[in-house]
Structure 1
Amino acid sequence: MKIYKKNNKFLNKILKIITTIFVVYSTIVYANENIFNIISQPTIDVKSYILIDYNTGIILTEKNSNETQKPASLAKIMTSYVIGKALSKGKIHRNDIVIVSKNAWSTGNIEFNGSSLMFLKIGDHISVQNLIKGIILQSGNDACVAMAEYISGTQKNFVNLMNFYAKKIGLKNTCFKNVHGLDENGQYTSAKDIAIMGKSLIRDFPYEYSIYKEKKFTFNNISQKNRNLLLWDKTLNVDGIKTGHTENAGYNIIASAIKNNMRLIVVILGDKTEQDRKKNSKKLLNWGFETFRTINPIKKYQKIASIPVLYGKHSHIRIGIKNNVFLTIIKNQEKRIKILYHIKNNKIFAPIYRNQVLGNLTFIINNHIIGRYPLVALENIPKGNIFICLLDYIRLLLSKWIHQ
């Protein structure tokens, strides 16, 4: 790609062509994991953990985050995700009534012994909405089976959906064997995959996610508290997500909190006790909020620049970014970034259509590329009349003559 630099003011003045590369110093800072290594990292004595920024996906700290572990009830996040998909497609509705089968019978299923239950009985008629709350708030393994059979006919078919969507959202080290997360051979996940699962649930099904912050749910006169103890911590604004525990998995948690428009997601797998996972997840969240912040320097469809157009009804076109740009920054490092605007071609010809990619915007710090986003046209520019085209043609000839 040839890039004109701003070294011929006369030519720029005559042809009214701005440069195709701009360097702008701004109050934006990097989100580069290598640079993050200069920060003192927290120490957590667990099998694996990860802390990410929800908006950018940047990993702030981690330990063995790609190593496979037992998911325990964190598998229910994917159960929720599949249920959310079925609701969004209109396959099921919240007011639908589900009849509990023998497979979902809480006291008649040996594998449920000693596990979290909604305490369903054979033949119970329960709404989809109540079963969803039983899964999310009571961590009911029996409720998972009831919903799986209602949506897919069998648990096996539902598990196939769980694995299908796991691959679709980019999980690399996860395989589900059941719908509730109880230990089973061949069932595994990783801290990083759990974080991606949680992020996908928040992003794709915000209503479903909003249920995770409720602190208790009562069914059949049995009231059970949400096992996520961070929901009661007044020093953190935690609004989800899920805890899990089995003898083989240890104590697991994925939690998400918001502070100053920054949302963090923490995952801990294999902690020693319920209180340890609360203490350690809180420690990671507090460290993240104290060390970093998230900024939104460029809004979607915000005008970044205007560039010249040849043969167009208008001589310039506004360019910008199609989506919001978020950056995770180290606090007090706001003045070290450069932004480069690159236009793909030396000359832009009409017609041009809205959202057409014309170049890219690159964030750079210390000569490292830390983010790149496509620059798109913010409007349509139809082809101009014959007089405009003729004038632009003359300008092109003049430009070639000057360069020769």
Structure 2
Amino acid sequence: MLKNALKKTSLAIFAGLLALPLTVSAEDVNFGIVPPQVNAQTYVVMDYNSGAVLASLNPDQRQYPASLTKMMTSYVIGDALKQGKIHNTDTITVGESSWGKNFPDSSKMFLNLNQQVTVEQLNRGIIIVSGNDACVAMAEHVSGTTDNFINSMNKYAEQFGLKNTHFTTVHGLDDANQYSSARDMAIIGAHIIRDLPEEYKIYAEKDFTFNKIKQPNRNGLLWDKTINVDGMKTGHTSQAGYNLVASATNADNMRLITVVMGVPTYKGREVESKKLLQWAFNSFDTFKTLEAGKAVTNQDIYYGNQGKVQIGVLQDRFITVPKGRNADLKARFELDKKYLEAPLAKGQVVGKVIYQLDGKDVAKVDLQAMQDVEEGGIFGKAWDWLVLTIKSLF
């Protein structure tokens, strides 16, 4: 009984892990399509749905993120709202630490000392007008102290698999120990869009008025009618240069995320981002290859309380290929092990579909068990052992 309880516990733990936000892959692909010249120290253009990095320059180079930091600040806040830990109607009293006068010569919401302000207002002050004062006020409300809030930011960075990101502030003012990369920022952006759609809607808002002061969103691409940009965030300090994370969709519902960092001019970050977006939309197609909940194959499973298990994906999966080449793709199916053995947890990766173009592997999609399979009884397991032993002889 204890052994069975442990097996059931392990399945429950695995299922709990699957409930965490899906990690974005952000894997490089190379189709030989030459990207435009981009005047930035580092950049990435990534397809949101497939996670394919279609072009990059120094994508893992550590940079000062400046106010791109506020994207992770926004994620922590958005997740706290989603979980009901805080509410948009919560009222906060502005203290000494979040008073706007503490942030001279930097972007702020213009909070006044002892002023009453809501979470909804502060969140807009962070996302739309990049208020450093609003970041401190929200960090203290969510986590008690800014240090506790920064710890949460770094925990999410670890959970997302970010290898070149570390936060020491909630607002992004330069600090020698604070850094991120173009690839990591693209991943953070994808998590905001996927995990927190209500939070992401705010990124498209063009201005915000507080204390009778109207400030525009600094992402100028929101006004560009030739391209459908609906986010995300700008950043600038003297050491960072000009940064911009942008996201846009086209008529085919393809969504791209671009990151440019270390651009020399204010307007240049918009020019370079638009250049990358237009190039990628004109050069690539993204399409759904596997549908959530639809079995790809039924496979034999051994040592379990059932003899077959359905294999597929629990969330829709996409791949990106050069424009017009969808019909030329070939696919093959592989299991990670020669024979599947119980126990298996729903969502556990057991194999992959590998896609080829012109004889070259260009993408892969992990396949998952679509239901739990617990260990079978002693007689069934003995029979399966005999079957596998015989199969191994041939």
* TM-score bracket for the superposition, by shorter chain length: 0.7 to 0.9
Q: Aligned partners of 1:252 and 1:54: how far apart in 2?
A: 19
1:220 aligns with 2:211: yes
Q: Aligned partners of 1:339 and 1:214: how far apart in 2?
A: 42
RMSD: 3.4
Alignment of 1:311-326 (within 5 A): 319-326=311-318
Q: Aligned partners of 1:345 and 1:130: how far apart in 2?
A: 53
Alpha-carbon deviation of 1:322?
2.7
Q: Out of 257-266 and 163-172, give the one that drifted further.
A: 163-172
- Secondary structure of the residue that 1:294 maps to in structure 2? strand
Cα separation, partners in 2 of 1:301 and 1:130, compared to 1, 3 Å: same
1:41 aligns with 2:35: yes
Structure with the greater alpha carbon radius of gyration: 1
- Which of the numbers 302, 320, 325 marks the counterpart of 2:294? 302
State the Cα deviation string for residues 257-282 of structure 1 (Å, max 9, x = none).
01111110001111122211111100
- The answer on whether the counterparts of 1:95 and 1:127 sit within 8 Å (CA) in structure 2 is yes
Counterpart position of 2:46 = 52
Counterpart position of 2:361 = 368
- Which of the numbers 151, 155, 159 marks the counterpart of 2:150? 159
Q: Aligned partners of 2:356 and 2:238: how far apart in 1?
A: 47
- Which of the numbers 328, 339, 350 marks the counterpart of 1:336? 328
Alpha-carbon deviation of 1:171?
1.5
Alpha-carbon deviation of 1:130?
0.4
State the Cα deviation string for residues 29-59 of structure 1 (Å, max 9, x = none).
xx984542x1122101211111111112111
- Which of the numbers 249, 253, 257 marks the counterpart of 2:248? 257
1:269 aligns with 2:261: yes
Counterpart position of 1:291 = 283
Cα separation, partners in 2 of 1:129 and 1:280, compared to 1, 3 Å: same
- Secondary structure of the residue that 1:335 maps to in structure 2? helix
1:62 aligns with 2:53: no
Cα separation, partners in 2 of 1:215 and 1:357, compared to 1, 3 Å: closer
Counterpart position of 2:271 = 279
Q: Aligned partners of 2:262 and 2:340: how far apart in 1?
A: 56
- Secondary structure of the residue that 2:236 maps to in structure 1? strand
Alpha-carbon deviation of 1:175?
1.8
Counterpart position of 1:9 = none
- Secondary structure of the residue that 2:179 maps to in structure 1? coil
- Which of the numbers 78, 86, 93 marks the counterpart of 1:84? 78
- Which of the numbers 173, 176, 182 marks the counterpart of 1:191? 182
State the Cα deviation string for residues 235-274 of structure 1 (Å, max 9, x = none).
1111100011111111110010011111100011111222
- Secondary structure of the residue that 1:328 maps to in structure 2? strand
- Which of the numbers 197, 210, 215 marks the counterpart of 1:206? 197
Q: Aligned partners of 2:308 and 2:169: how far apart in 1?
A: 58
Counterpart position of 2:91 = 97
Q: Aligned partners of 2:302 and 2:127: how far apart in 1?
A: 58
- Which of the numbers 166, 169, 182 marks the counterpart of 2:173? 182
Q: Aligned partners of 2:93 and 2:342: how far apart in 1?
A: 62
Counterpart position of 1:172 = 163
Letter in 1 for 2:260: I
1:242 aligns with 2:233: yes
Counterpart position of 1:20 = none
Q: Aligned partners of 1:171 and 1:214: how far apart in 2?
A: 28
State the Cα deviation string for residues 152-186 of structure 1 (Å, max 9, x = none).
22222222222222122121112222111112232
State the Cα deviation string for residues 365-400 of structure 1 (Å, max 9, x = none).
41537314225357999x9xxxxx9xx99xx8xxx8
Cα separation, partners in 2 of 1:310 and 1:169, compared to 1, 3 Å: closer
Cα separation, partners in 2 of 1:368 and 1:115, compared to 1, 3 Å: same
Cα separation, partners in 2 of 1:337 and 1:121, compared to 1, 3 Å: same
Q: Aligned partners of 2:262 and 2:215: how far apart in 1?
A: 24
Q: Aligned partners of 2:155 and 2:347: how far apart in 1?
A: 31
Cα separation, partners in 2 of 1:184 and 1:288, compared to 1, 3 Å: same
Q: Aligned partners of 1:310 and 1:178: how far apart in 2?
A: 52
Residue identity (%): 44
Letter in 1 for 2:165: T
- The answer on whether the counterparts of 1:318 and 1:379 sit within 8 Å (CA) in structure 2 is no
Letter in 2 for 1:266: T
Q: Aligned partners of 1:271 and 1:213: how far apart in 2?
A: 22
Q: Out of 302-311 and 237-246, give the one that drifted further.
A: 302-311
Q: Aligned partners of 1:145 and 1:219: how far apart in 2?
A: 17
- Secondary structure of the residue that 1:164 maps to in structure 2? helix
Letter in 1 for 2:369: V
- Which of the numbers 223, 226, 241 marks the counterpart of 1:232? 223
Q: Aligned partners of 2:69 and 2:180: how far apart in 1?
A: 9
Q: Aligned partners of 1:150 and 1:33: how far apart in 2?
A: 39
Counterpart position of 2:18 = none
TM-score by length of 2: 0.81
Mark the runs of 5 or more structure 1 residues left unpaired by the alignment: 1-30, 384-388
TM-score by length of 1: 0.79
Q: Greater relative contact order: 1 or 2 (C-alpha under 8 angstroms, separation 6 or more)?
A: 1
- The answer on whether the counterparts of 2:297 and 2:311 sit within 8 Å (CA) in structure 1 is yes
- The answer on whether the counterparts of 2:309 and 2:369 sit within 8 Å (CA) in structure 1 is no
State the Cα deviation string for residues 195-250 of structure 1 (Å, max 9, x = none).
11111111211111110001111111111111110000111111100011111111
- Secondary structure of the residue that 1:103 maps to in structure 2? helix
Count matched residues.
Answer: 362
